[in-house]
Amino acid sequence: MQRAAMTVPQATAAAAFLYAVLFAGHIFTAAQNHERAFQVVASLITVMTFSVAIWIQIIGKFSEIDQKVRANTTGFVFGLPLSVGLSWAYSEQSFDVGTTILFLVVTTFTHSVHRILILRNKA
């Protein structure tokens, strides 16, 4: 039996929970000196940060364009501050303007391409 699609807020909450689990996992793996596991979890956090909207859409199993657009907007809004936090982490817990701008640009690009694909009915 296939489950029904969620609402955008429900899928956003589920994506946030997944992100929080990954974040806790990265802290745990770092504390336990599990370098390879830490790298895997950090990579998943990075991918999820740059593509929050896509994860919301996948988790929500959205088929309607308006749901996908709302998921894209919501993901973009959450993705921007997450990308600033990620840039801080990648800059060894310091603020680097270049890295921050780069991460904001990558997040914006990813979500913009995703929106274009949605509007062309390809995502």
| pLDDT tens for each residue of 50-74 | 999 999 999 999 999 999 999 999 9
Residue 2 inside a domain? The answer is: no
Show contacts of 58-63: CB within 8 Å, 24+ apart.
Answer: 59/6, 59/11, 59/14, 59/15, 59/18, 60/5, 60/6, 60/7, 60/8, 60/10, 60/11, 60/14, 61/3, 61/5, 61/6, 62/5, 62/8, 62/11, 63/5
pTM, to two decimals = 0.89
Quick: pLDDT tens for 112-121: 999 999 999 8
Number of domains observed in the structure of the chain:
1
Residue 90 lies in a domain: yes
Q: Report residue 2's pLDDT band, with 50, 70 and 90 as the boundaries.
A: low
24 in any annotated domain: yes
Q: Is pLDDT at 13 greater than 60 in this prediction?
A: yes
37 band by pLDDT with thresholds 50, 70 and 90? very high
Residue 56 lies in a domain: yes
Domain assignment of residue 1, yes or no:
no
- As a whole number, mean pLDDT of residues 90-111 equals 97
Q: Give the domain range for residue 25.
A: 8-119
Task: Compute the average pLDDT of residues 18-25.
Answer: 97
Q: Kindly state whether residue 103 falls inside one of the protein's structural domains.
A: yes
Mean of per-residue pLDDT scores for the chain:
95
Give the pLDDT confidence score for residue 123 in this predicted structure. Answer: 79
